[in-house]
Amino acid sequence: MIRFENDYTEGTHKRILQRLIETNEEQTPGYGMDEHCENARAYIQKACDAENADVHFLVGGTQTNTTIIASILRPHQGAVSAVSGHIAVHETGAIEATGHKVLTLPSEDGKIQAVQVKELYDAHWNDVTHEHMVQPGLVYISNPTENGTTYSKAELEALSQVCRECELPLVLDGARLGYGLAAKDSDLTLTDIAKLCDVFYIGGTKMGALFGEAVVITNETLKKDFRYFIKQRGGLLAKGRLLGIQFETLFEDGLYNEISEHAVEMAMIIREAFVKSGFSLRYDSTSNQQFPILPDHVISELSKKYSFSFWEKVDATNSAVRFCTSWATKKEHVEMLINDVKHIALKI
């Protein structure tokens, strides 16, 4: 079975593994107070051109979203999100478990636009009984989105501007951030994101690390006491060095970008193969997740050799599925896949 079901099917990039081996016997203080974490913080600040940003390391995505959001909101406030946002759908109510509603906005492609945020904000404050409703307290987006789409710089600038006007911190979930930035049609950089968002995180788990997410807080007022929140939400890793070592490796000389580009290149080959074979795509994704719509018998056929995710039924005989690439995707597997797709398509 060749796995394209997600971007965390393998262990870690060999350079990270090597570094873990080399440092294994070092003695370090716990909880992220070690030198590797210090180095990693400095590399990330530099990569973001944000010297004053606070950088913290957590273990996984749900934990990171929960910790960030719960640190920002007051109890009567909610997080504005696309209806398809990870926090709205796939975190078992982790946000609600901290007491907060997710206020959803409709979205066809996983993105939300500045005008939607403004309308929701105005609708709340123009309602004379607004205290009977959850107050919007922050805006949560992902880049790339759950659907593989990415924000343009113009879109993010518009969102950022509305958020600042409305005093709503803008939080960006970057679980797959590298893959989004590496998308051919993306004109965003880490520096842009650091400038336009109040808090965001740079995903490691899906980007070549064993695990780990690097939170970057650029908004001064949101920095206070963040380590308490990490601890309370169970994210303060005893051997914090493990996070430091991994992000050090990813950011000291461009490995993060290298990984991102490889995955996106592989994804584009897959995309092209499906399109050339006459299949349509559920979303116009330019990052590492591809969502072809396939006849159910083709899905069955491909499933014998490849694992990938069922996404949704499209009609009586067709469904959308998801293929993911990653830092670990092998060129020969991709070639095998596109050959098989081509042959199957010819038989239809």
Residue 92 sits in the site that holds a copy of itself (CB under 8 A): yes
259 in Cβ contact with 13 (< 8 Å): yes
Two structure tokens written together for 57: 């390391």
Residues 213-242 that bind a copy of itself (CB under 8 A): 225, 227-239, 241-242
| Angle, in degrees to the nearest 10, between helices 255-276 and 241-252 | 70
Size of the site for a copy of itself (CB under 8 A): 77
C-alpha 292 chain-centroid distance: 20
Please report how close the Cβ of residue 158 comes to a copy of itself at its closest, in angstroms: 26
**Nearest one of 182, 176, 190 to 266, comparing CA atoms:** 182
Residues 160-199 that bind a copy of itself (CB under 8 A): none
Residues 29-48 that bind a copy of itself (CB under 8 A): 29-30
Largest separation between any pair of C-alpha atoms in the chain: 63
Please report how close the Cβ of residue 153 comes to a copy of itself at its closest, in angstroms: 29
Enclosing H/E stretch for 170 = strand 170-173
Helices (H) and strands (E) in the chain, counts: 14, 13
CA-CA distance, 195 to 49, in Å (whole number)? 9
Residue 265 sits in the site that holds a copy of itself (CB under 8 A): no
Please report how close the Cβ of residue 48 comes to a copy of itself at its closest, in angstroms: 24
Please report how close the Cβ of residue 130 comes to a copy of itself at its closest, in angstroms: 8
Two structure tokens written together for 235: 């994210």
**Nearest one of 65, 94, 96 to 171, comparing CA atoms:** 65
Residue 125 sits in the site that holds a copy of itself (CB under 8 A): no
Residue 101 sits in the site that holds a copy of itself (CB under 8 A): yes
Please report how close the Cβ of residue 120 comes to a copy of itself at its closest, in angstroms: 14
309 in Cβ contact with 243 (< 8 Å): no
The smaller minimum CB distance to a copy of itself, of residues 60 and 295, is found at 60
Residue 52 sits in the site that holds a copy of itself (CB under 8 A): no
CA-CA distance, 322 to 286, in Å (whole number)? 13
List all residues 6 or more positions away from 156 whose beta carbon is below 8 Å from its beta carbon. Answer: 143, 188, 192, 193, 196, 197
Residue 315 sits in the site that holds a copy of itself (CB under 8 A): no
Please report how close the Cβ of residue 214 comes to a copy of itself at its closest, in angstroms: 16
Applying CB under 8 A, the span of 21-29, 148-156, 254-262, 315-323 interacting with a copy of itself comes to: 21-29
Applying CB under 8 A, the span of 60-68, 184-192, 277-285, 314-322 interacting with a copy of itself comes to: 60-68
Residue 246 sits in the site that holds a copy of itself (CB under 8 A): no
CA-CA distance, 204 to 247, in Å (whole number)? 8
Residue 23 sits in the site that holds a copy of itself (CB under 8 A): yes
Please report how close the Cβ of residue 74 comes to a copy of itself at its closest, in angstroms: 7
Find the angle CA(158)-CA(160)-CA(164) to the nearest 5 degrees.
120
Residue 14 sits in the site that holds a copy of itself (CB under 8 A): yes
The smaller minimum CB distance to a copy of itself, of residues 46 and 125, is found at 125
List all residues 6 or more positions away from 230 whose beta carbon is below 8 Å from its beta carbon. Answer: 56, 58, 67, 236
Residue 311 sits in the site that holds a copy of itself (CB under 8 A): no
Residue 332 sits in the site that holds a copy of itself (CB under 8 A): no
Please report how close the Cβ of residue 43 comes to a copy of itself at its closest, in angstroms: 21
